[in-house]
Structure 1
Amino acid sequence: MSAPAKPRLSAAHRAAMESNPWFMSMPRAQRENLLGAAELIHLRRGAMVFRQGDPVIADGGFFGLAAGTIKISSLRQDGREAILAVLEPGNWFGEITLIDGSPRTHDATALEALDLL
């Protein structure tokens, strides 16, 4: 019995990622390698991609937002939420913890159903 097929990126997913200037500044072969190695993950509205304080996991710390919107936030000392950014398709996030190895500094929450790389 073979493993289930890896979900494929749609033309809309590719177009979203190609709207990012950072991504498009890479050589084509590098972009294709990154997209080819990426796993497409579907999350429902309200799902937490990661929480502040979470450790970085070796095989999944850098994300590309192919569809949906994500809220990046943290809790202030008074317990209220501070929304730092709302990310739209084409954005990449989560790279800082891969660079410095520190736990996550913010929460990342799905504001609607997501497709993540």
Structure 2
Amino acid sequence: MCTASFGIAEEAYKFRKNLITKEEFLLNSQILCIEVSVSALSSMLGHAIIPIPILGAVIGNTIGTFLYEISKDNLTMKEKLLMEDYLKEIQECGYFLENEFELHNHQLQREIKAYYKPL
């Protein structure tokens, strides 16, 4: 809990100084909380499985963190591909909407000119 608090405070400082964007602040804070949760949970499980003070928690934390890093790397590649596809879709929608906007804007300008002529 303390580790997450200090980490989020550091991210908030970076955000206030405009070193990172809002999205980066939120993403970094979420990742930090997940990593701290994995560490705490694996330490607790390690202590429950190996009831030797400190040793069980350290071994559990080491194993849990190691497994988390392996799974995070594998998921990161899939997430990057998913985000790239999503970004392409957003760009295509942006181009489509920009063209639609220009079309409607030109039509509106013509109608405004037609409206002002009789006035």
Which has the larger share of helix? 2
TM range (shorter): under 0.3
Bigger relative contact order, structure 1 or 2 (CA pairs below 8 A, ≥6 apart) = 1
* TM-score, normalised via structure 1 length: 0.22
